[in-house]
């Protein structure tokens, strides 16, 4: 599974660089994290049936970090 996700990110980044059309790339790390984090949180919260403790355990982060990230993405 992680290979599929990595391949998807790789394809998307290759497309991003191809489509820059002479523009300089910047803040790529933040762009990728922002693009991946919200859908990941949405899926994990659905899988945990909205239980933040379970979701945090699934993600390997603390519940307070999960709550902060949910708020950052307007998912709380």
Structural domains present in the chain: 2-72 (1.10.10.60)
Give dist(CA 1, CA 59) in Å, integer: 15
Say if residue 1's pLDDT is above 90.
no
Say if residue 2's pLDDT is above 90.
no
Give dist(CA 69, CA 50) in Å, integer: 14
Say if residue 13's pLDDT is above 70.
yes
Residues 6+ apart with CB under 8 A from 76: 67, 70
pLDDT tens figures, 22-65: 899 999 999 999 899 999 999 999 999 999 999 999 999 999 99
Angle, alpha carbons 76-70-61 (nearest 5°): 130
């Amino acid at each position: 599974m992680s290979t599929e996700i990595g391949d998807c990110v790789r394809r998307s980044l290759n497309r991003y660089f191809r489509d820059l059309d002479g523009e300089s790339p910047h803040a790529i790390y933040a762009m990728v994290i922002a693009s991946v984090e919200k859908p990941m949180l949405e899926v994990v919260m659905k899988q945990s049936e909205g239980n933040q403790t379970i979701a945090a355990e699934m993600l390997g982060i603390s519940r307070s970090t999960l709550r902060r990230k949910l708020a950052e993405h307007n998912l709380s």
